[in-house]
Amino acid sequence: MLDPKLLRNDLPAVAERLSVRNFTLDQDAISVLDQKRKQLQQHSEELQATRNARAKSIGQAKGRGEDIAPLLAENTRMGDELEQAKKELAIVQADFDAILLTLPNLVDASVPPGRDESENVEMRKVGVPQEFSYPPLDHVDIGARRSALDFETATKLTGSRFAVLRGELAMLHRALIQFMLDVHTREHGYTEINVPYVVNADSLKGTGQLPKFEEDLFRLVWGDAETQAEAGAAGSDYYLIPTSEVPVTNTVRDTILEASELPVRYTCHSACFRSEAGSYGRDTRGLIRQHQFEKVEMVQIVHPDESFAALDQMTGHAEAILQKLGLAYRVVILCGGDIGFAAAKTHDIEVWLPSQQTYREISSISNCTDFQARRMQARYRDPETRKPELLHTLNGSGLAVGRTLIAIMENYQQEDGSVKVPEALQAYTGGVTRVLLP
């Protein structure tokens, strides 16, 4: 959430920074609301001060033996007027807060302008894209052998955009998860954490998914109508996580950390669930865009002065996984038109896929500055002033497991349709060096 003071004191500057996202801020609506808020707040304060003064005069009149009934009646009238003013102020403040919850983060000055992903800026390319002496297969055709990658059964079990992995492919998927967690915990200094796959609405509000992106979430409903009615609002206040960023980042919600506890670094493997609303027709073949997928997430909670250095560090941590796996990739800075709602700056890592002859996103690492922390009231105590100050939060994939599996299947495929196991993974496959052999 943006700092309300920015909207009250420097609205044109906020509008200018949001325009980099191609987001048009309704300055008039905010100005009208804020002016009404100021008037009601001033009116309430004046009524309270007058009422307090009259209460004192009533006591004095009573001491002199005067008839205080008219004074009491006037005081009651003013009390009713004060109560009404407070109610109106609460409504205006709620309307203001509702607008705040829909406004994205302000992008950093280093974020390039642009309309969409075609205008993202390449930072670097690493590795040489794999070349083949034969037409390379895509991961769907490779995985069709022995039904190792089975979409038909998944559709029967659940529906479209789900997958069943069998045998050596399931083993390779599991090996990737263990490999990523080991690298991040043993080499990069993260603490492994295991969190619920179900979260409440407050957690999703804290990281910015609610209220704006509810259509992208899987909301949980259980029981019959009578059970739901008895449960009330709380009974439908749970969602499947779209990413473990949500529960992991919310571990510091409503918390004040000591500065000495920073940075907090967590890594987490989890399933992720997304409705992919509005994405129908895009990447419907294979594992690229599924309703359920798995990811190894990185989250850092840092001092505000350290967040942009942490962004570069986390990008390097995700890159290290690809380098160890011998996969070619590139790193881009997302432009204003492509950056996520909560992010101030984002680096995307895109891996080379031979079947598509292009780079595809495999990790997105974002510095959210104090945007999420303000929504969560996640703070640290300044060691000098001892006052609570907002933290900065960062998150990133380290990596998306399914997409990493795709990259290995396609880049390490052999002419006979089998797949070589990258050397870095062989310790996790029991020494198996090739899978899906004829």
Q: What is the CATH number of the domain that holds 236?
A: 3.30.930.10
For 294, residues 6+ apart whose C-beta sits below 8 A from its C-beta are 173, 177, 269, 270, 271, 272, 400, 401, 402
Is 362 a known ligand-binding residue? yes
Residue of 51, 166, 174, 289 marked active site: 289
Flag whether 110 is in a domain: no
Residue 150 pLDDT > 80, yes or no? yes
For 374, residues 6+ apart whose C-beta sits below 8 A from its C-beta are 1, 2, 3, 390
Say if residue 45 is in the same domain as residue 149.
no
Say if residue 267 is in the same domain as residue 381.
yes
pLDDT of residue 232: 57
pLDDT in tens, 352-368: 999 999 999 999 999 99
Flag whether 356 is in a domain: yes
Say if residue 149 is in the same domain as residue 247.
yes
Q: From the CB of residue 220, how many other CB atoms can be counted at a distance below 10 Å?
A: 12
Say if residue 44 is in the same domain as residue 187.
no
Flag whether 2 is in a domain: no
Q: Compute the Cα dihedral for 85, 87, 88, 94 and give only its sign.
A: positive
pLDDT of residue 72: 80
Please report, rounded to a whole number, the percentage of residues in the chain having pLDDT higher than 70: 97
Say if residue 131 is in the same domain as residue 78.
no
Catalytic: 285?
A: no
Query: For residue 431, what are the CA distances in angstroms to 179, 205, 404, 424, 427?
Result: 14, 45, 20, 11, 6
Task: Kindly report the pTM of this predicted structure.
Answer: 0.92
Tokens read off for 333: 């800075």
Residues 289, 411: contact at Cβ < 8 Å? no
Q: How confident is the model at residue 280 (pLDDT cuts 50, 70, 90)?
A: low
Is 381 a known ligand-binding residue? no
Is 275 a known ligand-binding residue? yes
d(CA 7, CA 432): 59
- Burial class, 169, CB count within 10 angstroms (exposed 0-12 / middle 13-18 / buried 19+): buried
Residue of 145, 274, 375, 379 marked active site: 274
DSSP code of 150? E
pLDDT in tens, 98-138: 999 999 999 999 999 999 999 999 999 999 999 999 999 99
Is 274 a known ligand-binding residue? yes
Long-range contacts of 154-157 (CB under 8 A, 24+ apart): none
Is 307 a known ligand-binding residue? no
Flag whether 11 is in a domain: no
pLDDT of residue 50: 87
Is 364 a known ligand-binding residue? yes
Q: How confident is the model at residue 279 (pLDDT cuts 50, 70, 90)?
A: low
pLDDT in tens, 319-347: 999 999 999 999 999 999 999 999 999 99
Q: What is the CATH number of the domain that holds 88?
A: 1.10.287.40
Q: Compute the Cα dihedral for 243, 247, 249, 254 and give only its sign.
A: positive
Say if residue 362 is in the same domain as residue 430.
yes
Q: Residue 224: what residue type?
A: D
> Which of 102, 125, 149 is the last residue in one of the domains?
102
d(CA 314, CA 306): 12
Helix, strand or coil, per DSSP, at residue 352: strand
Say if residue 175 is in the same domain as residue 217.
yes
Nearest to 405 by CA among 328, 320, 294: 294
DSSP code of 136? P
Is 230 a known ligand-binding residue? no
pLDDT of residue 69: 80
Residue of 265, 364, 366, 410 marked active site: 364
Residue of 361, 389, 418, 434 marked active site: 361
Flag whether 15 is in a domain: no
Catalytic: 161?
A: no
> Which of 77, 102, 127 is the last residue in one of the domains?
102
Residue 262 pLDDT > 90, yes or no? yes
Helix, strand or coil, per DSSP, at residue 405: helix
Q: What is the mean pLDDT of residues 192-200?
A: 98
Say if residue 257 is in the same domain as residue 381.
yes
d(CA 220, CA 61): 62
Catalytic: 364?
A: yes
Nearest to 212 by CA among 392, 34, 375, 8: 375
Flag whether 174 is in a domain: yes
Q: From the CB of residue 147, how many other CB atoms can be counted at a distance below 10 Å?
A: 15
The position carrying tokens 């297969």 is: 137
Say if residue 193 is in the same domain as residue 336.
yes
Number of structural domains (the chain) is 2
Residues in the chain: 438
Least confident stretch, 142-156, 204-218, 275-289, 354-368: 275-289
Is 363 a known ligand-binding residue? yes
Catalytic: 147?
A: no
Helix ranges restricted to H, 145-244: 151-157, 167-186, 201-207, 225-231
Helix axes 167-186, 401-411, angle to 10 degrees: 120
The position carrying tokens 């002199």 is: 64
d(CA 226, CA 218): 22
Say if residue 75 is in the same domain as residue 142.
no
Flag whether 414 is in a domain: yes
Flag whether 408 is in a domain: yes
Q: How confident is the model at residue 388 (pLDDT cuts 50, 70, 90)?
A: very high
Is 243 a known ligand-binding residue? yes
Residues 132, 368: contact at Cβ < 8 Å? no
pLDDT of residue 99: 95
Residue 237 pLDDT > 60, yes or no? yes
d(CA 376, CA 199): 14
Is 361 a known ligand-binding residue? yes
The dihedrals phi and psi of 138, each to the nearest 5 degrees, come to -90, 170
Say if residue 416 is in the same domain as residue 314.
yes
Q: What is the mean pLDDT of residues 71-93?
A: 88
pLDDT in tens, 403-420: 999 999 999 999 999 999
Helix, strand or coil, per DSSP, at residue 250: helix
Say if residue 46 is in the same domain as residue 81.
yes
Q: What is the mean pLDDT of residues 264-292?
A: 87
Residue of 17, 21, 379, 403 marked active site: 403
Catalytic: 118?
A: no
Q: Residue 73: what residue type?
A: A
> Which of 73, 102, 131 is the last residue in one of the domains?
102
Q: Which domain holds residue 322?
A: 117-435
d(CA 334, CA 306): 20
pLDDT of residue 397: 98
Is 203 a known ligand-binding residue? no
Q: What is the mean pLDDT of residues 256-282?
A: 89
